[in-house]
A and B are shown apart, each in its own frame.
Chain A
């Protein structure tokens, strides 16, 4: 079956602009999570969507937002880009899972965002 697809793979934006990243989860997966990966901070959790609702949120400013559509595809938006937003943004999908249940996350290849 097809894996998690993230588009675009690479983006270059200017400070102050906004950007939208897309993630298509594995068919049947209803949970989509977003992570920011940087050399300095490692892998940081942004938010998780399940059935079109944001279920969990990390500690990022309000410039970072997301949404999930009825087909489970998800988008992430960053407004008023800053140089520090340059990172690899990873999306992961998983089956429903419950708290304490085995939650294997399947990751996409990521979108490399460079802010200049």
Chain B
């Protein structure tokens, strides 16, 4: 089955850019997603990218997809304390159910 890997923690200073990385094993996904989980809440879809795209930009968010290296990244520009959360990448793997990574805890400090 699909294996999705993320680093567990990322610490950045407020105002800097954050880059959260995700690697995967199965290249059959049509859609790749980034979800955000704030403390005490469920996951919320942040953005997604279609597999035939290399990049997608949405305000402060930039998603990069390198299909050759099976690498997905989420860049958050001008990171704010409100961006502190757990970020999950997820892939559909051509099935109904997305496979989630373990999540990266983003810590933003002043």
Residues of chain A lying within 8 A (CB to CB) of residue B98: 103, 105
Q: Is the CB of A31 within 8 A of B96?
A: yes
Q: Is the CB of A100 within 8 A of B92?
A: yes
Q: Is the CB of B99 within 8 A of A103?
A: no
Some 30 contacts from A to B, beta carbons below 8 A apart, are A31-B96, A33-B97, A41-B102, A42-B100, A42-B102, A43-B100, A43-B102, A43-B103, A45-B99, A48-B97, A50-B96, A55-B96, A56-B95, A56-B96, A90-B42, A90-B43, A92-B42, A99-B92, A99-B94, A100-B30, A101-B31, A101-B92, A102-B92, A103-B96, A104-B48, A105-B45, A106-B45, A107-B35, A109-B40, A109-B41
Residues of chain A lying within 8 A (CB to CB) of residue B97: 33, 45, 48, 56, 103
User: B42's contact among A48, A55, A110, by CB below 8 Å, is which?
Assistant: A110
Please tell me the size bucket of the interface on A: 20 to 34
Residues of chain B lying within 8 A (CB to CB) of residue A41: 102
Q: Is the CB of B88 within 8 A of A43?
A: yes
Count, A-B residue pairs, CB within 8 A = 67
With an 8 A cutoff between CB atoms, is B44 at the interface?
A: yes
Please tell me the size bucket of the interface on B: 20 to 34
Q: Interface of chain B, helix or strand or loop or mixed?
A: loop
Residues of chain A lying within 8 A (CB to CB) of residue B102: 41-43
Q: Is the CB of A99 within 8 A of B96?
A: yes
Q: Is the CB of B94 within 8 A of A108?
A: no
Q: A92-B43, A102-B48 are in contact. Are A42 and B101 (CB under 8 A)?
A: yes
Q: Is the CB of B30 within 8 A of A101?
A: yes
Shortest distance between the CB of A58 and any CB in chain B (Å): 9
Contact mask for chain B residues 25-68; partner A; CB cutoff 8 A; 1 contact, 0 none: 00000110101000011111100100000000000000000000
Residues of chain B lying within 8 A (CB to CB) of residue A108: 42
Nearest first, the 3 closest Cβ-Cβ pairs linking A and B are A42-B102, A107-B42, A107-B43
